[in-house]
Amino acid sequence: MGRDANTLLELEQLRVYYNLRHGIVKAVDGISFTMKEKETIGLVGESGCGKSTLGLALMKILPSTVTMMGRLHFDGEDIISKSEKEMQSIRGSKITMIFQDPMTSLNPVMKVKDHFIEMIRTHIPKISEEEAMSMAAKALTAVGISESRLNEYPFEFSGGMRQRVMIALGLVLNPKLVIADEPTTSLDVNVQAQIIELIKELKRKFNMSMLLITHDLGVVAELADRIIVMYAGHIMEISDAIELYESPKHPYTKALLHSIPNTIIEDMDLSYIPGSPPNLISPPKGCRFAPRCDKAMKICREKEPPLFDVNGAKVKCWLYGDKE
Amino acid sequence: MSSLKYYVITRILLAIPMMLILLTIVFFVLRIMPGDPVTAILGPKAPPEVVKQMRANLGLNDPIAVQYVKYLGKLLIGDMGRSTLTERPVLTEILERFPATVELTLYAMVVAILIGIFWGSEAARRYDKITDITARSYAIIVYSIPVFWFGMMMQLIFGVNLHWLPVSGRISPMMEPTSITRLYLVDALITGNWESLWNAFRHILLPGTTLGIVISSIFVRMVRGNMLLTMNMDFVKAARARGIKERAVVYRHALKNAFVPILTIMGLQFALLLAGAVLTETTFSWPGIGSYLVMKIRYRDFAAIQGSIVFIAFFIIVVSILIDVINAWIDPRIRY
């Protein structure tokens, strides 16, 4: 994979394994993709498919029982070989993360301003407190919160407001990449819409790249340029966002799209995917989706398919390849 | 910070009925208890006239309700009566003994808190690693050792065999520093009396360390347990994701949040020690409240027992208010 001038993130055969007492959980098992600057990629899949692990792996904040293998380059730098200390200087300044639950992601005994000051001073040690405060005020205003609220504690904010604070914290140092792990999942529907609008606006304003991790296909549709569909630690399909919605290729993607509640077509029954994702300690041989796939053939259960090129998209399914 | 002020005032007002209930219980329990104080003082063979005279002097012939009201009224002006044994005011006797207990308590608490916080936090940080396993074993073993046995072993090793440290008392005779706070270590430090300081320090080393180590076992487990809870919370992960240094993540984010339950236990333990570490004080002949109370119980010195209990209870209430206030100061959610 060649590196273009504007490639930001490059993954090649990335594997993230949890070494547990009862076996090795292959949460991310050989994932390759590249991300360009200013691009937003949506990472979609069911719970437990490895998408959150992948997000944490990009920042290397995983427990010590985890082994990472393969290639992971960010902004031209090899992340896997970096020391914990080097990673600390990258986290928060070049890569930041927005978490799922804003209610618990802020330290309850610290004022909002102290979250900002602590972070800014960690990365820019020589900055004065006034300068740090004005940076914090600017970031907070950008997410639509009055700077007068810097002096308040997290519990004085509502869920949506806290997520705005988290986003402001994520953006205050102008990171190159923002990883948003289910940023709207735990919010009310109307607050969800507000946060999505906010992220859209900030993306334009700050020119940031974003990896949006979610199981909500509606959210990705609003925000992502490209979509990666993950299943059981593997990439099943990579495609442009519009293409994916208009003509999904992988049977798993189709099944996911069919399971979105749709209020426009009233008569359509909501379908679901029978069965549950495989055990990642001993995943099935062949295609990992085969046991739940209604189009599964003999080869699917025997041999793992590669990613086939199909009209610009990449699909990991034998339906699209020559089956020798 | 008016919400904090309001909180403090409420807590103090709530303490008044608490204290009153306690005084009442102490009073009545002592009246119900078997054992006649007059017989205890004069012996079983005392002539009946003398016994009668004594009963009248002590006010024991009054109806119990009258005795109760008199007792409360005197307490208000700080009069706890006189010791039936020594005839000296109980409060004076207690105040003589109390500094020794405070000194021992403070020393032991410093030892216990240092061990507890650092080892407990590190154990949580290195969960299931060697630091954690040793911390857990330490806590269980030390907690189950009786403090008097542990104290005697310390005396045997460092006092009797090695001759390094004195095994009893607070300070050598004639070495007392000028009295200011009546805590020898502090007084010696203020007056710059290094000889006294060294002497007092050598005396407190064995009892203080013994007590501190025993109590640290509780703290190690408490800190470890609460730190494990907070270390797995989302805001700790979020702080890491912001590039905050690991030490700050552990001590500023996780520990500060774990502190509310930890501080409550530490404060109660502190108050309990102020009530006198009876076993430690007795083992090391430490002239504190604990050994005082044991002696007075042996002689059925009602006034002194009652006085000590009230005095101790008062301190426990003061300390628990202090804990509440500190907790409210740490965690804003409590005071709003």
* Cα distances (angstroms) measured from residue A248 to each of A222, A297, A315: 17, 19, 10
Domain that holds residue B143: 97-298
Answer yes or no: do B55 and B137 share one domain: no
pLDDT of residue A230: 93
**Where do the H-state alpha helices sit in chain A?**
51-59, 84-90, 112-123, 129-142, 159-171, 189-206, 217-223, 241-246, 251-258, 298-302
Answer yes or no: do B66 and B130 share one domain: no
The answer to whether the CB atoms of A88 and B245 lie below 8 A apart is: yes
Domain boundary among B45, B76, B107: B76
Alpha carbons B190 and A273: distance in angstroms, whole number? 78
Answer yes or no: do B123 and B41 share one domain: no
Domain count, chain B: 2
Task: Looking at the complex, report in whole angstroms how far the Cα of residue B110 sits from the nearest Cα belonging to chain A.
Answer: 25
In a domain, A128, yes or no: no
Domain that holds residue A294: 7-94+175-320
Answer yes or no: do B61 and B115 share one domain: no
pLDDT of residue A17: 93
Output phi, psi for B183, to 5 deg: -90, 115
Answer yes or no: do B254 and B185 share one domain: yes
Pairing relationship of beta strands A66-74 and A7-20 according to DSSP bridges: antiparallel
In a domain, B336, yes or no: no
Cα four-point dihedral sign B277, B281, B284, B287: positive
The answer to whether the CB atoms of A91 and B332 lie below 8 A apart is: no
Q: If chain B, 336 residues long, is cut into consecutive pieces of 10 residues, what is the mean pLDDT of each piece?
A: 80 90 87 74 79 80 85 86 85 91 94 95 90 94 92 92 89 81 86 88 93 94 93 91 91 89 89 84 90 86 86 87 88 79
In a domain, B307, yes or no: no
Answer yes or no: do B61 and B204 share one domain: no
In a domain, B83, yes or no: no
Measured between beta carbons, which residues in chain B are less than 8 angstroms from residue A110?
A: 253, 256
Answer yes or no: do B23 and B169 share one domain: no
Answer yes or no: do B246 and B216 share one domain: yes
In a domain, A123, yes or no: no
- Tokens 């208010």 sit at which residue? B321
Answer yes or no: do B68 and B111 share one domain: no
Q: Which stretches of chain A score pLDDT less than 50? A: 1-2, 324
In a domain, B106, yes or no: yes
Q: Which of B87, B127, B139 is nearest to B303 (CA)?
A: B87
- CATH code for position B285: 1.10.3720.10
Measured between beta carbons, which residues in chain B are less than 8 angstroms from residue A61?
A: 237, 240-241
Alpha carbons B25 and A266: distance in angstroms, whole number? 73
pLDDT of residue A2: 47
Task: Looking at the complex, report in whole angstroms how far the Cα of residue B77 sits from the nearest Cα belonging to chain A.
Answer: 42
- CATH code for position A236: 3.40.50.300
Contact B204, B103 (CB under 8 A): yes
Structural Rg of chain B based on CA atoms: 24
In a domain, B46, yes or no: yes
Pairing relationship of beta strands A209-214 and A177-181 according to DSSP bridges: parallel
Measured between beta carbons, which residues in chain A are less than 8 angstroms from residue B234?
A: 99, 101, 104-105
ipTM value of the model?
0.85
Q: What is the DSSP string of A155-197?
A: GGS-HHHHHHHHHHHHHTT--SEEEEESTTTTS-HHHHHHHHH
Answer yes or no: do B257 and B129 share one domain: yes
Measured between beta carbons, which residues in chain A are less than 8 angstroms from residue B239?
A: 107
Task: Looking at the complex, report in whole angstroms how far the Cα of residue B225 sits from the nearest Cα belonging to chain A.
Answer: 19
Alpha carbons B16 and B319: distance in angstroms, whole number? 14
Answer yes or no: do B118 and B57 share one domain: no
In a domain, A315, yes or no: yes
- Among B237, B242, B249, B326, most A C-beta atoms within 10 A, so best to mutate, is B242
Answer yes or no: do B71 and B146 share one domain: no
The answer to whether the CB atoms of A61 and B237 lie below 8 A apart is: yes
Alpha carbons A211 and A230: distance in angstroms, whole number? 13
Say whether A152 sits in a helix, a strand or coil: coil
In a domain, A266, yes or no: yes
Q: What is the pLDDT of residues B11-60, one digit of tens each?
A: 889 989 988 998 899 888 877 777 677 777 777 787 888 888 888 877 77
Query: Nearest Cβ partner of A119 from B235, B244, B333?
Result: B244
For the record, the structure tokens of B55 come out as 């009963």
Give the number of other CB atoms < 10 A from CB of residue A49. 25
In a domain, A133, yes or no: no
Angle between helices B289-298 and B302-330 (to 10 degrees): 150
Q: Is A74 exposed, middle or buried (0-12, 13-18, 19+ CB in 10 A)?
A: buried
**Number of Cβ pairs closer than 8 Å across A and B?**
75
pLDDT of residue A324: 46
pLDDT of residue A32: 94
Domain count, chain A: 1
Q: Which of A60, A44, A50 is nearest to A25 (CA)?
A: A50
Name every residue whose Cβ is closer than 8 Å to that of residue A171 and which is 6 or more positions away in sequence.
A96, A139, A142, A143, A178, A202, A206, A208
Alpha carbons B275 and A192: distance in angstroms, whole number? 56
Domain boundary among B26, B42, B76: B76
